[in-house]
Amino acid sequence: MTALYPLKFKTIFKDKIWGGEKIKTVLNKDFSPLKNCGETWEISGVKGNVSVVAEGDLAGRALTDLIKEYKQDLVGKKVYESSGDEFPLLVKFIDANEDLSIQVHPDDALAQSRHQSLGKTEMWYIIQADEGAKLITGFNQEVNKEVYLKHLEAGTLNEILNQEQVKADDVFYIPAGRVHTIGKGLLLAEIQQSSDITYRIYDFDRVDDEGQKRELHTEEALDAIDYKYYDSYKTDYSPEHNKAVQLVESTYFKTNVLNFNETLERNYQELDSFVILVCLSGEGTLQYGAVQISLKSGDSVLVPASLKTVVLTPVSDCKILESFVP
C-alpha cells in the first residue's frame, strides 16, 4: 500500500449564472473553456463531483476510493466511525460577480428525511471584496413563518433581512436554517458540510441563456428556516501573526486562520481527524518528512490523519485556513 502524504486534488470548476473572472484573475486558476466560473470545488466527496488526486504516487485516485482503502489512517478513527466512506466536508472558492439567490439549507434531520443527505452548515472567509460589497445573513428583526411569507409574497423580503457591509478577512458562520446570500463583488473561501442541498427562496427574477428562470423552493424552505433574530452575525476574532487563531468551532468542523511570515510547525498529535489547509494569499511550502509541497493562493491540501506534524514555511506573507473535524 502506498504511503500517505499531503494530498492536492484537481480543481472542479462550476459555471454559474452569477459567476465572474476572479477565480482566474485573483486565484490564478484557469477555468477555460468555461466563459465564467462561479465556484470551484477543491476537496469534495459529493457524488458526481468526487475529487481526484493531482500529484504524487496516488495521482488519479478518487478521494472516496482512498477512504475505502486507508480508512481511519486518512480521515481519523472517530471520523471514519461516524462518516464511513463518505468524506464529511466540502471546500470551495466562490466568486460572486452578481448576487447569488437568497437561499437556505436544511439541517441534518430535515435533509436526511427528505434527501437521505447531510444538512449544510458552512462558513465563509472573505478573500477579496469590491467597494460597497454586501451579503445577507439572517433576519434584522424577530419574524415568524407568517411574517416571512407575507414579505415574500409582497416582494419586500429585503426589508426583514440582515445586510452586512463586507471587507476582506471578514468571517461569517452560516448554520443550517439561516437565510443568506453572497452579494455581488465578493470572492470567498467556503468550508461546509458535504452536502449540495439548497432551497432557493428568491432569485431576482433572473433568466438563463435560454430565457428560463431557475426553480424556487418556497414550500421546502418554510420548515428549514430559522426565524430567530440574533444580535450579531459576523464572527468576531482578533488577527495575530505566526499562531493559529480560532475562527469557528461547530459540531461539523473547527477552522483556524494562520497568518504567518515565519516558519510554523503544526502538531496534530491530539487530533483524531484529517486536516485541510486552504491557502488564501501568499506563497509557501508544506513539509512532511522528506515530502515538500508548494502552497500558493488558491491551493488546498488534505493532510491525512496519520500525519501528525507538518512544517509550513512562508516564501511571502502567507494566510491559510486550517480546518478539521473536532
Residues annotated as catalytic are 200
Instruction: Output the nine-digit C-alpha cell for 295.
Output: 502552497
User: Around Cβ 180, how many Cβ atoms within 10 Å?
Assistant: 22
Answer whether 274's CB lies under 8 Å from 301's CB: no
Query: What type of residue sits at position 59?
Result: A
Question: Among residues 304, 301, 248, which one has the least CA distance to residue 274?
Answer: 304
Q: Is the peptide bond before 88 cis (omega within 30 degrees of 0)?
A: no
Coil, helix or strand for 203?
A: coil
Concatenated DSSP letters of 265-280: EEE-TT--S-EEEEEE
132: left (phi over 0), alpha (psi -120 to 50) or beta: left
